[in-house]
Amino acid sequence: MNITKEELKHIANLSNLYFSDEELEKYTKDMSSVVEFANELSKIDTQGVEITTSILGEYNIFRKDEVKESFDRDILLQNAPEQGDGMFKIPKVIG
Amino acid sequence: MDITTLTIHEAKKMLENGEITSYELTKAYIDRIKKIDPIIKSYVTVCEDRALQQAKMIDEKRKNGEALGSLAGIPIGIKDNMCIKGVKTTCSSKMLENFVAPYNATVIENLEKEGAVILGKLNMDEFAMGASTERSAFFPTKNPWNISKVPGGSSGGSAAAVSADLAIATLGSDTGGSIRQPSSFCSTVGLKPTYGLVSRYGLVAFASSLDQIGPITKDVEDCALMMNVLAGHDSRDTTSANLEKLEYTQFLQNDVKGLKIGMPKEYIGEGINDEVKSAILSAADKFKSLGATVEECSIPVTEYVLPTYYIIACAEASSNLGRFDGIRYGYRAKEYSTLKELYEKSRSEGFGEEVKRRILLGTYVLSSGYYDAYYTKAQKVRTMVIEQFKQAFNKYDVLLTPTSPITAYDIGSKTDDPVAMYLSDICTVSINIAGVPAISIPCGFDSDNMPIGMQLIGKHFDEKTLLRCAYTFEKNTDFNSMKPEIGGI
């Protein structure tokens, strides 16, 4: 199955990835072969088979909603590419 | 005697008897890393000062007669996707090149509680996506058995380091074979435990329904010693199983009499290298001669496990890697004007080619209009895989297969075709899909003297039978005692 360049642009946009025209060519070609490989699955009959939602049986994990010590803000901010006034800095979002 | 060749159990005895100190042992490894690792390139970060400091502290405690843990003074290496507080955790990616972990993974806490000394962080395929360690954004790791060949992956640094005596043991992570396949390529012992047995808290997530942490060691006894420390419930990982803690070393019995071993024919058929196949058949004969029964069996769904694996793994990865946005941590592009541009450029520049390919595939199979045909379908085939393994285990205690259909190949020979690369995961991915445990142990060498590994697969939480079976094979063969001659050094 062939993926078109337009389809790849759409998927890239959903993935928050940007590609140059040259890269678009390459990734479109790669994706076509990978999707073709994934299409093998259409050959197997799964009529009446349930989907797997949990590997070791279904159960929920509950815990008490307790106040606990969390991470130190300054330490966490040390990994931020840009920060100020104890906050992460990003470009202006609202016009 | 070169003390870096010791196993954990041998070093433990010598430490306890006062024949060596932890400082001497750790220093010997640091010196060897300095000498040999420029060739092998298994380490991304070496924690020299931290390690020597830890070792001194253990020696001090021992001198004072204080209580010591089961791994006191044992130098261990860690795959670079597990967090150690204050140490870089890069996932061998430009995205996390400068990320310093603000906390310890549970496995690190457990190791250090038992006195282990952390030597450093080991190279891997970027975000654990790959099977050769060539996808590291920094440099490829070399196979100690032949430095022109790959060590396997994604835990290639972890397996190469153990094989080249650059760590006494290491931790790897395994999403579709990433502990077992490099163990097979480098002639080490690698265990992927049952899903839920070892906490993943502090492991950078790739595909959360498949990821497991496990040990890579020089022999099966060391594997059991590591599992004593690694296994256990952790409330910080909601998939962590709450089971009674076991002493895995008690299952090291040199006896497989009466054990029923199945050999799924799909794993020794077409596409399996002849030398690998013949090593596996010899291993089967060995088990028979030791009193086990070995029979051919079938897991027919095997034909479909690779697309199933890649759909599920990439879908989960596309979601898990959404967190890398250039804001809270990780790489941020230099030039951008809007927030969307910041996301796109940071991710496109920070992630390597294979990671981007997998994010794209994952996003595609989860996108509107394709979800049912790919993702839902794969989750149904996953149910069939789980069922067929269950059926096989109604009849057999253990399943025997090759770990990889091929032995280690030349660096650079397979990087161009992503699908060809995916196909070599055929023997390992089903195990993660089914959530069962599997161990890879050395079982031969090909005509180029490259290692061959066999995979033993067990029932959920039946690591004990795997260890017993692997231990018996190791005690009755010589493959484990072979050592690589690193480029004649």
CA-nearest of B286, B414, B164, B181 to B172 is: B181
Amino acid A1: pLDDT: 66
Cα–Cα dist B48/A31, whole Å: 43
Q: What is the pLDDT of residue A58?
A: 66
For residue A61, what pLDDT is reported? 80
Interface test with B, best of A5, A26, A29, A34 (most B CBs within 10 A): A34
What is the structure's pLDDT at B487? 59
Check: complex ipTM more than 0.85 = yes
Mean pLDDT to the nearest integer, B13-35: 98
Take residue A95 and report the two structure tokens written for it: 């016009």
Query: What confidence tens digit (pLDDT) does each residue in B424-453 have?
Result: 899 999 999 999 999 999 999 999 999 999
List the structure tokens of B81: 């996707």
CA distance B475 to B452: 17
Q: Report the C-alpha gap between B402 and B441 in whole angstroms.
A: 10
Q: Among residues B312, B311, B383, which one has the least CA distance to residue A49?
A: B383
Query: Which string of DSSP letters, residue by residue, matches B176-216?
Result: SSTTHHHHHHHT-EEEEPPTTSB--TTBPPS-TTT-EEEEE
Check CB contact under 8 Å for B310 and A61.
no
pLDDT digits (tens, 9 = 90+) for B237-265: 999 999 999 999 999 999 999 999 999 99
CATH number 1.10.20 given to A5-43: yes
Helix axes B463-475, B220-230, angle to 10 degrees: 160
Chain A positions in Cβ-Cβ contact with residue B322 (cut-off 8 Å): 16
* Residues of B marked as catalytic: 79, 154, 178
Per-residue pLDDT reduced to its tens digit, B288-344: 999 999 999 999 999 999 999 999 999 999 999 999 999 999 999 999 999 999 999
Q: Residue B191 and residue B223: Cα distance in Å, rounded?
A: 7
- Bridge partners (DSSP) of residue B79 are B122
Whether residue A93 has pLDDT greater than 90: no
Give the pLDDT confidence of B340-370 residue by residue, as tens digits.
999 999 999 999 999 999 999 999 999 999 9
Residue contact A88–B328, C-beta within 8 A = yes
CA distance B392 to chain A (A): 17
Report the residue of chain B nearest A33, measured CA to CA.
B419
What string of DSSP letters covers A46-64?
Answer: -TTPPPP--SS--------
CATH class of B3-266+280-298+391-488: alpha beta
Question: Phi first, then psi: what are they for B419, rounded to 5°?
Answer: -65, -40
Answer yes or no: do A35 and B364 touch at CB < 8 A: yes
Domain ranges of chain A: 5-43
Q: Which of A6, A19, A41, A69 to mutate to test the interface with B (most CBs of B within 10 A)?
A: A41
Q: Give SS3 for B213.
A: strand
Burial classification of residue B255, based on how many CB atoms lie within 10 Å of its CB (0-12 exposed, 13-18 middle, 19 or more buried):
middle
- Is the separation of the CB atoms in B460 and B435 below 8 Å? yes
- What pLDDT digit, counting tens, does each position of B80-121 carry? 999 999 999 999 999 999 999 999 999 999 999 999 999 999
Say whether A17 and B419 touch across the interface (CB within 8 A). no
Whether the predicted pLDDT of B51 surpasses 60: yes
Residue corresponding to tokens 């990994």: A79
Residue B438's H or E segment, with its range, is strand B438-445
Percent of chain B surpassing pLDDT 70: 99
- Enter the tokens of residue A6: 């337009």
Say yes or no to pLDDT of B489 above 60.
no
Which among A14, A72, A91 has CB closest to B367?
A: A14
Q: Inter-chain contact A52–B322, Cβ cutoff 8 Å?
A: no
Please name every residue paired with B117 in a beta bridge, in sequence order, or none if there are none: B75
Name the average pLDDT for chain A: 92
Find chain A residues with C-beta within 8 A of B372's C-beta.
Answer: none
Is residue B191 within 8 Å of residue B223, measured between CB atoms? yes
Amino acid in position B460: H
- Res B148: pLDDT: 96
Residue in A with minimal Cα distance to B336 = A91
Give me the mean pLDDT over the B395-407 stretch. 98
Q: Where are the alpha helices (DSSP H) in B252-352?
A: 274-289, 305-320, 339-350
Fill in the DSSP letter of residue B19.
Answer: S
